[in-house]
Structure 1
Amino acid sequence: MTETLADPHLRFEAATAASGTPRDIVILGSTGSIGTQAIDVVLRNPDRFRVTGLSAAGGRVGLLAEQAHTLRVRTVAVAQADKVPALREALAARYGQGEPLPEILAGPDAATELAASECHSVLNGITGSIGLAPTLAALKAGRVLVLANKESLIVGGPLVREVAAPGQIVPVDSEHSALFQALLGGARREVRKLVVTASGGPFRGRTRQELTDVTPEQALAHPTWDMGPVVTINSATLVNKGLEVIEAHLLFDIPFERIDVVVHPQSYIHSMVEFTDGSTLAQASPPDMRMPISLGLGWPERVPDAAPGCDWTKAATWEFLPLDDEAFPSVGLARHVGGLGGTAPAVFNAANEECVAAFLQRKLPFNGIVDTVADVVAEHGTPARGTRLTVADVLEAEAWARSRARELAARAAHATAIPEARV
């Protein structure tokens, strides 16, 4: 069997505590959606997990301090250094007199430093490509990487592949966790295709023309998942699904032409693996991120009662529909970008983040998000083959893509009437 970054058949041996003691975990992005749900899993399983470090951007220092006190962590990292005084004050208000406060790391490299600290596993729940440096740090330090930050793998795929040992990454995205589990049903040579499911977002069934007047409020109203604004808008445009196709290719080393996307509105089947004998294995569970998070933290063991299971005593109907590539061209664009390789995925991701921000500020129409990203990708061109990718290359490509995306979005804003919120 060919070894891959996320091979469920392999067990990466990280340094661990003696048998019977909790596994030490670092959580990056602790105040976000993934981080808060991971903490819920930890608090309900104190015999299995112990959090030693937390990191956050700094926008919610009160919550970060509360988490640190509840979990009794050694270290707290905050990306915004100017938030340190407020964080110290929040910590002091929660810790009793004489109780030692946790160590504080601050600045843009704080999460990266924390990712390399002594622990068994690092859960990277940071949103965006800023998660790349912590991802690389955790891998280089020999930690198990529990990966929810898909962007770090997408923008730095070759860099991650260079330092990751086979089986060192356990994916947390519900789709990739599903593939990870279903792949246990056979050898890699027996895999015919991966089938990634998509809820279809809030605009499933609409034509491209019907998406013209979509407002930010409508796009943020996801029918199934409770996520942050960037991920929610990415789900509405299906950019998130395009990113997941690239991630699946990198994690499991399956060619793009053997990775399909199918719309499944109920979001109970999280993805499927079709094998060469015609059989398909699907992973099913109610839409609750605590299940894939717990699997990532506890792998290779499952955490009992991590999340509710399916109620098979009740009648239910599950639908599977083809993807409308005309209304949602993002998946096709992502396949193209993934095939280009090099810095193209970084350009795709960075341009999209800027376009999402412009849309949320009513400076770009909904359809303009992916259209503008496609224009930026086209201007970037085809990366030179055979050139070794560096972190500097990724950062330079991202900076250019962000700048160019802002220019094109500003130009579109002057030419287009952006719809206001509907009362």
Structure 2
Amino acid sequence: MKKMDSGVTAAIGFQAAGGSAGIKKGNVKDMALLYSIVPCVAAGTFTTNIVKAAPVKWDQHIVYDCEAAQAVVCNSGVANACTGEEGYRCCRETAKMAAEVLKIPEDSVLVASTGVIGQQIPMDKIIEGVKMLAPLLSNSREAASLAAQAIMTTDTRQKEVAVSVEIGGKTVTVGGMCKGSGMIHPNMCTMLSFLTTDADISKEMLQEALSEVVKDTYNMVSVDGDTSTNDTVLLLANGLAGNPVINKKDGDYQKFLEALYEVNTILAKKIAGDGEGATALFEVKITGAQSREQAAALAKSVITSNLTKAAIFGHDANWGRILCAMGYSGAKFDPEKVDLFFESAAGRLQIIENGVAVDYSEEEATAILSEAEVTAIADLKQGKAEATAWGCDLTYDYVKINADYRS
């Protein structure tokens, strides 16, 4: 597998564009368009929140009920959530305009929005935005970058990645871009992720692969415990790589799955590390578990603990908070067998052994916890299963950002 300096335009046949449609205040990028030169099979996963934004409902229809997808229109600034029938009508009008300018079927256009909940989408700006972006579509690196910038809200940096892998004697590429910084919690988050691949793969296997990967990537991310109304992951495959079609779980499927997992793991970590107000990516690894489910429950519980997140911000090795969060996770384990370590670029240090603190250096612990990426590793010593979750520290700036988000 080869990692590439690219994004959604890395795979053959995909083009993108990003620019300003005037949805946000100031001349900032707020609309993106993604397009495949040929129809694609599509897969998707969506928010588990009962309150679903209009674009989520529209995309579920396209992914689950329609034959193909070929374009995605995304705006930032307004979420088009809690907007009733008018909100859904806006999705249809957006798709209709994109279909007209791109000369593709209306039911092959996916729509996504992110931003403030409860406001009606400014359709005049969306329509003009689609018209503006269509002529700018390109497969260039710059086009991918502009699109990634245009979908950001409180994100401080764009999030992109691409990898290539050989399948059936052909080079298959998987690329992606995402956004997410706040309202992030397991079972999807205020995140949008758009993934592209030139793999030739059946719709059934594409959905199977995406669903399998999401549970160990995006669903293992938490910034603040809030599950959004707009969470959407879309995966488009146009088959232009020319590999033998992947229509069963064989070796080729496993290679594709590994590439997809790599892309989504990188993107998930980028979301966690760019949490609102964050100064550090906080990773929690549970090893020696009896099952993946046990390990995942424990890792998620630690990553969502506000007390633990605050301790990471303070570079404080307050290990009791970690053990406490594990204890209320609902997963059964023996706390008197747990070994706990902190690890970063500054080194690795054991903090507890068999549930009891060891004689460690507080200065060394502080140095390790002062890095931009910090990992806590808990070994249950009960089995061979493991799981990893990602989050960030909890800072003063998180409150500042969300206290005046609408202003």
Both proteins in one fold, TM over 0.5: no
TM value normalised by structure 2: 0.25
TM value normalised by structure 1: 0.24
